[in-house]
Amino acid sequence: MTPSSASCSIWLDSESSPTRVNEPVTALRGLTLKRISSELGVDAHEIRWLTRRAAHLYEARALSKKGSGSRRLLVPAPRLKSFQRAFYKKYLRNHAYHPAAYCVPGRGVLDAVRQHRGRTHVLHLDVTDFFPSVDCGKVRDCLRREHVAEEAVPTITRLLTCENQLPQGAPTSVAIGNLVLHRVDARVTGYCRRPGAGLTYTRYVDDITISGGSRIEKFEGGIRRIVEDCGWVLNQRSRMVGPDEEHRILGILTGRTLAVGEEYVSDVEVTLDTLREAGCGRTLARSLQGKIAWIRAVEPSRGRRLEATLQRILDGEPLETPKQIAC
C-alpha cells in the first residue's frame, strides 16, 4: 500500500541523506509542556507527578516466544498508560512516518507483504534486541529531530521510557520506534533504489524484509553497514529465500494467493475444539477472536468459516468439528 502524498512527506531516498523535502508540520513540532497540559487536559501537577514516579510505574511481565524462551514486557500502570495513550493519539498516531515503515496506522502486515510478491529472492533481517536498545539518548535525539521544544524533551523522554529503554508494553513504544528508525528507513530505501539494485525494502517494527532478483546477496553487506552506521546492530544470522523455496514474509505465505500457515490454522482449530469441550472462557474466546480475525484478513473464506464455528460454540449450538468446517 503506497501512502498518499497528502499524508506523507516526500523523502530524499539517498544513502547519505535522510533529509525530508517539503516537510509537513507535525503535531510534535514546537511541542511544549504547556501545550501537552492544555491539549491533553492533563494538569501540570499530574505531569510532574508522573515524571517523578515514571520509573516505578511499570510491571515486568514475561511473554512466551514462539518456539522457546520469553520476551520481557514492561507494562505501565493505568495512570501512566492513560497519559501515554492520550499522547499517542494526539501527537503520534497521525505522524507522517517513512513510507517503508509498515507498523503504522493505515499500513500493516498485509501491505508490507504485498510489496514483495512476485520477487524471486527475499532477504530477512532483524534488529537485535530492538526495544531494549532504544535508550533515552536515542529517544531524546529523535524528539529534537522532530523539533519538540527543548524544555519538553527531558520530560517526554522520562514519560515514554523505563530503565533506559523503550518499554515493550507501552502504547507509545512502536511509534517512537518508527521515529528513531527513520534514518535507517531513508538510507536503506535509497540504497535499494540506486541503479542496478532493483530491490524493495520494508520494515515492520524491527523485522526488515528486502526482495529482488538473484543479485540480492551482493547487497546484504552494504545494507548491514548502513544499519550499523545508524547505530543499530543486526542479528548475524540472516535468512535468504530463493525461487525454489517457500516464501513466508511476516508469517504469511506468498504463493499464488496469500495464505496463513497451516500450523497457525491447526492451532486455532485445536483451541476451538478445547473451547467447545471445556466451556466458554472469556479470555480464551477473546484470544480466538483475534486469531480468527487475522486469518480472515489474509484468507477471507476460511476466516468466515472459523468465525461461524466460534459463534456457534459461544451460542451453545451443536456443530461439526472445526476440522470439517475449516477445510
Q: Is the dihedral of CA 107, 110, 116, 117 positive or negative?
A: negative
Check pLDDT > 80 for residue 134: yes
Check pLDDT > 90 for residue 175: yes
pLDDT band for position 4 (cuts 50, 70, 90): very low
Check pLDDT > 90 for residue 199: yes
Can you give the pLDDT at residue 326? 32
The overall average pLDDT reported for the chain is 88
pLDDT band for position 313 (cuts 50, 70, 90): confident
322/68: higher pLDDT:
68
pLDDT digits (tens, 9 = 90+) for 56-103: 999 999 987 766 678 899 999 999 999 999 999 999 999 999 999 999
How far is it, in rounded angstroms, from Cα 293 to Cα 183? Answer: 34
Q: 300 Cβ partners below 8 Å, 6+ apart? A: none
Lowest mean pLDDT among 97-101, 204-208, 283-287: 283-287
Please state the pTM of the whole predicted model.
0.83
**Which residue in 224, 234, 135 sits closest to 177, CA to CA?**
135
How far is it, in rounded angstroms, from Cα 172 to Cα 92? Answer: 8
Can you give the pLDDT at residue 173? 98
Check pLDDT > 50 for residue 320: no
Task: Give kind and range of the element (H or E) at residue 241.
Answer: strand 239-241
Check pLDDT > 50 for residue 325: no
The residues facing 259 across adjacent strands are 253
Can you give the pLDDT at residue 219? 95
Check pLDDT > 90 for residue 13: no
Can you give the pLDDT at residue 142? 96
pLDDT digits (tens, 9 = 90+) for 246-269: 999 999 999 889 999 899 999 999
pLDDT digits (tens, 9 = 90+) for 41-63: 999 999 999 999 999 999 999 98
Cβ proximity of 303 and 292 under 8 Å: yes
**Which residue in 283, 276, 274, 277 sits closest to 312, CA to CA?**
276
Q: Which amino acid is at 301?
A: S
Check pLDDT > 70 for residue 19: no
User: Does residue 106 come out as left (phi exceeding 0), alpha (psi in the -120 to 50 range) or beta?
Assistant: left
65/10: higher pLDDT:
65
Distance (Å) of CA 32 to CA 166, 175, 299: 21, 19, 46
Lowest mean pLDDT among 9-18, 46-55, 192-201: 9-18
Can you give the pLDDT at residue 27? 92
Can you give the pLDDT at residue 70? 82
Can you give the pLDDT at residue 65? 73
DSSP designation for 248: E
Can you give the pLDDT at residue 35? 98
